[in-house]
Structure 1
Amino acid sequence: MRTQVAIIGAGPAGLLLGQLLYEAGIDNIIFEQRSPDYVLGRIRAGVLEQVTVDLLAQAKADKRMLAEGLPHDGIELLFGGKRHRIDLHELTGGKRVMVYGQTEVTRDLMEARKRAGLLTVYEAQNVTPLEFGSERPRVRYEKDGQQHEISCDFIAGCDGFHGVCRASIPADSIRNYEKVYPFGWLGILADVPPVSHELIYAHTERGFALCSQRSATRSRYYLQVPLTDKVENWSDEAFWDELRLRLDPEARANLVTGASLEKSIAPLRSFVSEPMRFGRMFLAGDAAHIVPPTGAKGLNLAASDVGYLSRAFAEFYQQRSSEGIDRYSEVSLRRVWKAERFSWWMTSLMHRFPDSGDFDRKVQEAELDYLVHSRAGATSLAENYVGLPLN
């Protein structure tokens, strides 16, 4: 069996790449270790940049997002007990973000792939990329007790941080950069109306908090917690009580609580692997980089990788040009590092670090005050938050 592009990983990156390639007339097969239900069970990001929205439109998977998603023109920074609005739309010349859950993006892409009759091999075991340093790469996998091999022109590694693609690269051919933060995010998902119609990023003496949402009736809240904390130590009541302590009086009064649908603690890290191309295998999304969620860049970076990669493959097949695939790593990493910088900056600005002293905290407060009273500072934040252009 043969295909033009073998995609390993059926998360939003792999599925989006598959749809973009299909729209460009490029044959592809996706291999996924897990079941469709497991993939849809991952509760992740919910803020989409305009670049991501545009790519979903190009993939013809944006209809439900446009009907049900929540366009946001601003965010609020809470510090010193008061909220300050950053007008994203005005500061960026009309740009905004779309609040729409990653689970829903994945579902829409799955449905688009199903409508197109494209092949996704779920529950494929022992998936292995082979001979990607040659002109005849292959993917080997097991399904229902039988071993199979697919020959292809290219392999796209969209299989996440713990996936097989990056792990298959010789150690002397790759360089990793990593920063691990000394805290995590305790997140809760609940069917309650949002406390505010825009996201609230809270910097408080008790630690960071984020008030987010997935829809007009489903909310996602986060608390900064020590890495030593355990989910089982946090009842729903304890979570809501602590969140109240990190909000301003108006938000505290507006907060509606309820039973959690999902509760988890996620550690925060920054991670980048270079390069992102190895012969005829290309890494995209979490397989190549991780950002702390403070800047809302994880899913959006995966989408921009896929945008570059789909464009490069289209140039290769339609124009017989290898320029796009030759420059993929360089172009993607330029955008990746800018998003890494922004996410690191937001994380450093909004959180309480266990080893920080009074001087560090005063500097954080001064920078927050500068941001909300300087148009230049607010514009820089807004431009990065809505997403840099896909050049």
Structure 2
Amino acid sequence: MRVQVAIIGGGPSGLLLSQLLHRKGIDTIVLERKTREYVLGRIRAGILETGFVELMREAGVAERMDKECFVHDGTVISYGDIEFGINFKELTGSHVVVYGQTEVTRDLYDARDAMGGKIVFNADDIQIHGADSDTPYVTYQADGTGHRIDCDFVAGCDGFHGVSRQTIPLTVRREYEKVYPFGWLGVLSETPPVHDELIYAGSERGFALCSMRNENLSRYYIQCSLSDSADDWTDQAFWQELKRRIPAQYAATLITGPSVEKSIAALRSFVTEPMRWGRLFLCGDAAHIVPPTGAKGLNTAASDIHYLHNALLQFYEDHDSEGIDRYSEKALARIWKAERFSWSTTNLLHRFPEQNGFDLKMQKADIDFLRENKEAQSVFAQNYVGLPY
């Protein structure tokens, strides 16, 4: 088989790239090592920047999102007894929307089905060959049979543990990483959200986040030890701890219920450079990871897709390689700003094991400055709704 672009990874970034290119007449195939049901069963982030929303519309898959999403014009931040709001709409003229990653992925799968897009599930032993040449190709196993795909370009959208990043030689790539000394215990419950906006809460007991998926499905998180497992936490223990960390007025009105899903995620900041090697391009988690504080994971993947799909259009429609030549440079310039925001927001609201009295005073001073200073709030809001592409 031959296609113009082989895409490895059937998550939202790979599907979005495939859909955008397909609508411009560029032939693609998506290889996914898991089943469709497995991909749709993953619980992930649900806050979409303005840029991501516009990409969904450009891809022709925004109809259900526009009908069902929750528009968020701001957020609530608390720190001990301090509580204040940051109004995104007032400060930036923009907003974010809440629409679950699972729903984004479902819409993209439905669109690929409707347009006859080529997707291969259960693709094992995927390997990328000749990425540093003009004739790259991808091999994989499916149903016990070997397959080969010749292509012009390969897009690696296969996540942190995928084959794409590992294909780039260690002599070429450089990796930057910070591992945080705690995790997030997340609970999904079929209960109404405690507040119309998200609540980011710092306390002496640690961080907490109150989020939602829809009017009857809430997502809550608390900072926890890396040595914990989800089985260590009963639903009752989780709710009790959450109430201790959020402002009293919300703790008093919080509606609890059985957890639908419960898991612990470790936190890390990670970037690999470059994001292009020859005709292989890295996108999303294959190239970078952010802590979930600030909701940048899915959105940074979307910015990669914006740069890559426009670069490929420039190559095929205008016979101009400027976009693909500068893909890594452009993508990384925005990625590092998103990394900075996620890192700084994590430091602002979490308790670290090594913090001393001075560190805690500095943290409180940062909170006070953010609460009192409109310019600081504007910077926070600009980053949260998404820096321009």
TM-score by structure 1 length?
Answer: 0.99
> For residues 364 and 305 of structure 1, what CA distance do their matches in structure 2 show?
32
**What is the deviation of 1:81?**
2.1
SS at match of 2:53: helix
Match of 2:132 in 1: 133
> For residues 173 and 181 of structure 1, what CA distance do their matches in structure 2 show?
26
**What is the deviation of 1:83?**
2.2
- What aligned pairs does 1:233-382 form with structure 2 within 5 A after superposition? 233-382=232-381
Deviations 1:281-307 (A, max 9, x none): 000000000000001100000001001
SS at match of 2:2: coil
> For residues 247 and 319 of structure 2, what CA distance do their matches in structure 1 show?
58
Kept after mapping to 2: 8 A contact 1:18/1:29: yes
SS at match of 1:133: coil
Unpaired runs of 5+ in structure 2?
Answer: none
Q: Which amino acid aligns with 1:351?
A: H
Match of 1:41 in 2: 41
Q: Which amino acid aligns with 2:383?
A: N
Match of 1:50 in 2: 50
Q: Which amino acid aligns with 1:290?
A: I
Kept after mapping to 2: 8 A contact 1:16/1:109: yes
Match of 1:7 in 2: 7
Match of 2:17 in 1: 17
RMSD: 0.6
Q: Which amino acid aligns with 1:327?
A: R
> For residues 201 and 250 of structure 1, what CA distance do their matches in structure 2 show?
14
**What is the deviation of 1:82?**
3.7
> For residues 12 and 281 of structure 1, what CA distance do their matches in structure 2 show?
19
> For residues 220 and 63 of structure 1, what CA distance do their matches in structure 2 show?
24
SS at match of 2:293: helix
> For residues 377 and 77 of structure 2, what CA distance do their matches in structure 1 show?
11
SS at match of 1:293: coil
SS at match of 1:256: coil
SS at match of 2:326: helix
Match of 2:385 in 1: 386
**What is the deviation of 1:232?**
0.8
Kept after mapping to 1: 8 A contact 2:79/2:349: no
Deviations 1:91-145 (A, max 9, x none): 01x1000011111111111111111011100001111111111111001001100
Match of 2:166 in 1: 167
Which stretches of structure 1, 4 residues or more, deviate above 4 A after TM superposition?
none
Q: Which amino acid aligns with 2:317?
A: Q
> For residues 346 and 79 of structure 2, what CA distance do their matches in structure 1 show?
14
Deviations 1:241-271 (A, max 9, x none): 1001111121011101111111000000000
Match of 2:184 in 1: 185
Match of 1:69 in 2: 69
TM-score by structure 2 length?
Answer: 0.99
Q: Which amino acid aligns with 2:60?
A: K
**What is the deviation of 1:80?**
2.6
Kept after mapping to 1: 8 A contact 2:80/2:204: no
SS at match of 1:120: strand
Deviations 1:137-194 (A, max 9, x none): 0010011000000100000000000000111221111000000000000000011000
> For residues 62 and 364 of structure 1, what CA distance do their matches in structure 2 show?
40
Q: Which amino acid aligns with 1:377?
A: A
> For residues 98 and 253 of structure 2, what CA distance do their matches in structure 1 show?
20
Q: Which amino acid aligns with 1:75?
A: T
> For residues 125 and 233 of structure 2, what CA distance do their matches in structure 1 show?
37
Kept after mapping to 2: 8 A contact 1:165/1:287: yes
> For residues 273 and 248 of structure 2, what CA distance do their matches in structure 1 show?
46
> For residues 83 and 53 of structure 2, what CA distance do their matches in structure 1 show?
28
Match of 2:98 in 1: 99
**What is the deviation of 1:90?**
0.4
Deviations 1:14-54 (A, max 9, x none): 00000110112111000000000000111111100000000
**What is the deviation of 1:358?**
1.1
Unpaired runs of 5+ in structure 1?
Answer: none
Kept after mapping to 1: 8 A contact 2:178/2:269: yes
Q: How many residues are paired up?
A: 389
> For residues 362 and 61 of structure 1, what CA distance do their matches in structure 2 show?
47
**What is the deviation of 1:372?**
1.3
**What is the deviation of 1:72?**
0.2
> For residues 324 and 152 of structure 1, what CA distance do their matches in structure 2 show?
18
Kept after mapping to 2: 8 A contact 1:81/1:247: no
> For residues 293 and 247 of structure 1, what CA distance do their matches in structure 2 show?
18
SS at match of 1:171: coil
Match of 2:115 in 1: 116
